[in-house]
């Protein structure tokens, strides 16, 4: 029988790396499995992170590298590979990689993250990070006193629009239907803001700009009328796709596919924990992901002590 580790951490974004740091300090026999050898997760594509305490203006790539270097100082063991199968057999967690290697452990932290949904329109990919953003709380400050648009009608879109309206000269909210999905408490606040204009029944057809977002081509879905909107930034908030495919038949997930877990990161399966963007939570940020990493290790230690 292969060695049984204390802990396998799956994912090397902020949640996985923070968990790895805490696991190293707790001297847990741990491996971290990451899909790519460049640690950091989603943040490596973030041009600038300006809301992580103590290091304003750092690039996402540099922050990810710092997290990874911290793990390396603790001599944590990283393995590159994609998890293709996850099972729990007699309480032992069994993780199979795409190269068919199999790892076993008493506890697992799933920290595989989620990705913001894309609109899949012309210009979106080209201008991503150049006025197209998927995180208003991360990038909103770059658009102070300027004109922005938020696309979407859920809680995140409306919260983003409220946040941006306090900073920006003007905020358009573009929603494909004629009513919000977001909570009434939020929409009431939004509609009372004077610099917000809601554009109903409309979808974005194209994001226009050379090196920066300059305009949106929008289309009213009822009248089919097209219009050009001058904007400096576009915040896309149309939901997230969690990376939970491999785990969703083992642990409980919500309707959106996020692993159901509270602040202690415990799932419905003993010894299986979910940390960071993959778990059900309100605010998906680097700081909340890192916080999950710490909380998850505390819960893992409690679990290991109970065995």
Active-site residues: which are they? Answer: 135, 138-139
Instruction: Please state, in angstroms and rounded to a whole number, the distance separating the CA atoms of residues 119 and 57.
Output: 27
CB atoms within 10 A of CB 254: 12
Stretch that binds ligand NAP, among 29-37, 163-171, 174-182, 297-305 (CB under 6 A): 174-182
Could you tell me how many residues of this chain bind ligand NAP (CB under 6 A)?
Answer: 19
CB atoms within 10 A of CB 19: 34
Closer residue to ligand NAP (CB): 82 or 201: 201
| Residues between 80 and 109 that touch ligand NAP (CB under 6 A) | none
Q: Which of 138, 134, 140, 137 is nearest to 117 (CA)?
A: 134
Q: Among 48, 50, 124, 155, which residue interacts with ligand NAP (rule: CB under 6 A)?
A: 155
User: Least distance (Å) from ligand NAP to the CB of residue 18?
Assistant: 22
3-state secondary structure (DSSP) of residue 222: coil
| Residues between 194 and 253 that touch ligand NAP (CB under 6 A) | 203, 237-240
Instruction: Please state, in angstroms and rounded to a whole number, the distance separating the CA atoms of residues 177 and 172.
Output: 15
Q: Is 176 in the site for ligand NAP (CB under 6 A)?
A: yes
Q: Is 189 in the site for ligand NAP (CB under 6 A)?
A: no
User: Least distance (Å) from ligand NAP to the CB of residue 182?
Assistant: 7
Stretch that binds ligand NAP, among 35-43, 94-102, 135-143, 151-159 (CB under 6 A): 151-159
Task: Report the sign of the C-alpha dihedral through residues 167, 172, 176, 182, in that order.
Answer: positive
DSSP percent split of the chain into helix, strand, coil, nearest 5: 25, 30, 45
Q: Among 11, 16, 123, 152, which residue interacts with ligand NAP (rule: CB under 6 A)?
A: 152
Phi, psi of 260 (to 5 degrees): -75, 115
3-state secondary structure (DSSP) of residue 293: helix
Q: Among 85, 144, 177, 222, which residue interacts with ligand NAP (rule: CB under 6 A)?
A: 177
For the record, the structure tokens of 184 come out as 């009434």
Q: Is 282 in the site for ligand NAP (CB under 6 A)?
A: yes
Q: Are 301 and 122 in contact (CB under 8 A)?
A: no
Stretch that binds ligand NAP, among 40-48, 69-77, 89-97, 146-154 (CB under 6 A): 146-154
Closer residue to ligand NAP (CB): 186 or 272: 186
Residues within the interface to ligand NAP (CB under 6 A):
117, 119, 151-157, 159, 176-177, 181, 203, 237-240, 282
């Amino acid at each position: 029988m292969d060695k049984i580790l204390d802990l396998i951490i799956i994912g090397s974004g902020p949640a996985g790396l923070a968990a790895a740091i805490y696991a190293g300090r707790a001297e847990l026999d741990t491996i971290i499995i990451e899909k790519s050898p460049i640690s950091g997760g989603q943040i490596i594509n973030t041009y600038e992170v300006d809301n992580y305490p103590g290091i304003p203006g750092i690039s996402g790539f540099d922050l990810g590298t710092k997290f990874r270097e911290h793990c390396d100082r603790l001599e944590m063991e990283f393995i590159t590979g994609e998890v293709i199968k996850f099972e729990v057999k007699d309480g032992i967690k069994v993780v199979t990689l795409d190269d068919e290697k199999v790892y076993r452990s008493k506890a697992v932290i799933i920290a595989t993250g989620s990705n913001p949904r894309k609109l899949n329109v012309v210009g979106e990919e080209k201008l991503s990070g150049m006025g197209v953003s998927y995180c208003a709380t991360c990038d909103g400050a770059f658009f102070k006193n300027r004109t922005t648009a938020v696309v979407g009608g859920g809680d995140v879109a409306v919260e983003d629009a409220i946040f941006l309206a306090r900073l920006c000269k003007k905020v358009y909210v573009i929603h494909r239907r004629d009513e919000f999905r977001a909570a009434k408490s939020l929409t009431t606040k939004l509609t009372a803001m004077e610099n917000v204009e809601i554009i109903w029944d409309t979808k974005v057809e194209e994001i226009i700009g050379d090196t920066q977002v300059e305009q949106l081509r929008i289309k009213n879905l009822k009248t089919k009328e097209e219009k050009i909107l001058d904007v400096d930034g576009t915040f896309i908030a149309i939901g997230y796709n969690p990376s939970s495919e491999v785990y969703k038949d083992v642990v409980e997930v919500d309707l959106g596919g996020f692993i159901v877990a509270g602040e202690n990161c415990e799932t419905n399966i003993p010894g299986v924990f979910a940390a960071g963007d993959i778990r059900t939570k309100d605010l998906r940020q680097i700081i909340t992901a890192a916080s999950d990493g710490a909380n998850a290790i505390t819960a893992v230690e409690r679990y290991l002590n109970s065995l």
